[in-house]
Amino acid sequence: MINYEGSGWRLQRDTSRKNFSVLMGGDNLAVELSEEEWRNLCPLVFKLVDQHKHLKTRLMKEESICLEIENSPWWACLDGTRDNWSLQLILSGEEINCRGLEISWPSPSAKAITSAMRTMWDSQQ
């Protein structure tokens, strides 16, 4: 089992669990994801974070930006300034397992969980 945790966020992966091997959580909520949901989510989140890194040098300190991306069944939104941003994720209930979810992290938890996601993703490649 791989476990990462910080203030306001939690990420855990246990490949011995058959149906839902990844747990993502915040202060008051945790959801379990299937391997397929996880594999679909990570590249989407990484693309958002990379876009923000590329654009933030063009933003003034107080200027805000909202980046959204969708790749069914996921929708993701990174919203904030060049230094602080939140992350919102929605899993559409129309495709995989006919269930949906919505989860979000404020700054700085959003940065921390996306960093942990990248570390976890890179370790499985």
Whole-angstrom distance, CA of residue 58 vs CA of residue 65: 11
Could you read off the pLDDT of 23-51 as tens digits, one per residue?
999 988 999 999 999 999 999 999 999 99
| Residue ranges covered by each domain of the chain | 2-124
CATH class of 2-124: mainly beta
Phi-psi region of 69 (alpha: psi -120 to 50; beta: other; left: phi over 0): beta
pLDDT tens by residue, 68-125: 999 989 999 999 999 999 999 999 877 655 788 999 999 999 999 999 999 999 988 6
Which ranges of the chain does DSSP label H, i.e. alpha helix? 35-55, 109-124
Q: What per-residue confidence (pLDDT) applies to 125?
A: 66
pLDDT of residue 94: 74
pTM of the predicted structure, to 2 decimals: 0.91
pLDDT beyond 90 at 2: no
- Alpha helix segments (H runs only) across 22-87: 35-55
Query: Number of H helices and number of E strands within the chain?
Result: 2, 8
Position 124 scores a pLDDT of 81
Q: Which residue has the higher pLDDT, 94 or 65?
A: 65
SS3 content of the chain, % helix, strand, coil (to 5): 35, 35, 30
